[in-house]
Amino acid sequence: MLTEKPIDFSQNSHTKVNHVFVFLEVFEGEGGIQSYVKDIFRAYLALDEPFYAEVFLLRDSHNCSNPFESDRLKFHYFKSQSPQLGRVRITLALLSHLLRQRPSHVFCGHVNLAPLVALLCQPLGIPYTVMTHGKEVWQALPTPMKSSLQKAAQIWTVSRYTRQIACAVNKLDSNKVKLLPCAVNGNNFTPGTKSTVLLERYNLTTAKVLMTVARLWSGDIYKGVDVTIQALPQIAEVFPEVKYLVIGRGDDRPRLAKLAQDLGVGNRVVFAGFVPTEELVEHYRLADAYVMPSAEGFGIVYLEAMACGIPVLSGDADGSAEPLQDGKLGWRVPHRDPNAVAQACIEILKGDDQRCDGRWLREQAIALFGIDTFGLRLQQQLKSCVKSS
């Protein structure tokens, strides 16, 4: 846990520090990156002056719901029916802003935008930082992306694993890669009793409940929902009442449903479909274990589950080492191994391990990854950018 005192900017309070943020999409999509960016906005607004920023959003429109618009954060939207037109518009607007305002630092929210940001910032001598999240930088990148990362003043990423892999495959200076792990709002995600309404809705009243929250896209099979389904027959031998609640939507659902039927566990797998964020906490509370043997850049969902007092299972070769603290806070198993998943789930459902202590688990998650800790980390990162500018 970070224990340093908040950074004092009072001696520079008369100096307005202008930033620019550039993101692909924040408000009209769903996922871990969007959640992470919203936490950045939330923490940014909670900082003391003198920070102000203009935010450029390539794929969001003026009609989106945005609670962060303020005197401190000004938003510009460039969604267009033509992706090419949207990119031209954001390029021209960003260039105009950089020429007129000369911000102290530009923060690029995705590696796909890094070549554009580098192209505009470098001739003007404006330093920039690129945010990375996980799988998008786990492989050798095209030369323009790699070059833009190499020339960045800083690179932010969410986990040690992503830093290690990205630096190795893209020849990045690890000293420039700073960690800004994901956060969980402990006020939104809290322990509680299982909702009888939801138990009845999903026919889980007498069940031991495993749960996953994930996009069910055919391109995202790394989430491990199919592996957990394959583990169910073995788990059911020890816990005959086990069921698996899968929350999420996508084109891979028919394949997963057929897999469950073929394995004779179709009646144990409940596909809940999409659940709005505001209803997630009551769904987490239904779970006896959160199971996602995945390959994540970080895995915000693990934090959400732990904040609700739910024990967690992840893969063992990815960024989940961060939220699970290398196994101190949860079970980490080979992510495509149904036998390993089954054995870990059986251990969790027996409940004999400290990692099943919901109160302790929540305390650890909030102390390490709560919003206050995230805000302090962001403040430190921004101060380091001021020094390097």
Residue 190 in any domain: the answer is: no
- Rounded Cα gap, residues 364 and 341, in angstroms: 24
Q: Are 249 and 214 in contact, with CB atoms under 8 Å apart?
A: no
Residue 189 in any domain: the answer is: no
The answer on 307 and 240 residing in a single domain is yes
The answer on 379 and 357 residing in a single domain is no
Give how many domains the chain has, as a whole number: 2
Is the torsion defined by CA of 205, 211, 216, 222 positive or negative? negative
Q: Are 120 and 151 in contact, with CB atoms under 8 Å apart?
A: no
The answer on 139 and 229 residing in a single domain is no
Query: Could you tell me the residue range of the domain that residue 318 belongs to?
Result: 196-368
Task: Give the pLDDT of the chain (389 residues) as one tens digit per residue.
Answer: 444 334 344 434 445 789 999 999 999 988 889 999 999 999 999 997 679 999 999 999 999 999 999 999 999 999 999 999 999 999 999 999 999 999 999 999 999 999 999 999 999 999 999 999 999 999 999 999 999 999 999 999 999 999 999 999 999 999 999 999 999 999 999 999 999 999 999 999 999 999 999 999 998 889 999 999 999 999 999 999 999 999 999 999 999 999 999 999 999 999 999 999 899 999 999 999 999 999 999 999 999 999 999 999 999 999 999 999 999 999 999 989 999 999 999 999 999 999 999 999 999 999 999 999 999 999 999 988 876 55
What angle do the packed helices 160-170 and 143-150 form, to 10 degrees? Answer: 120
Q: What is the pTM of this model?
A: 0.90
The answer on 257 and 125 residing in a single domain is no
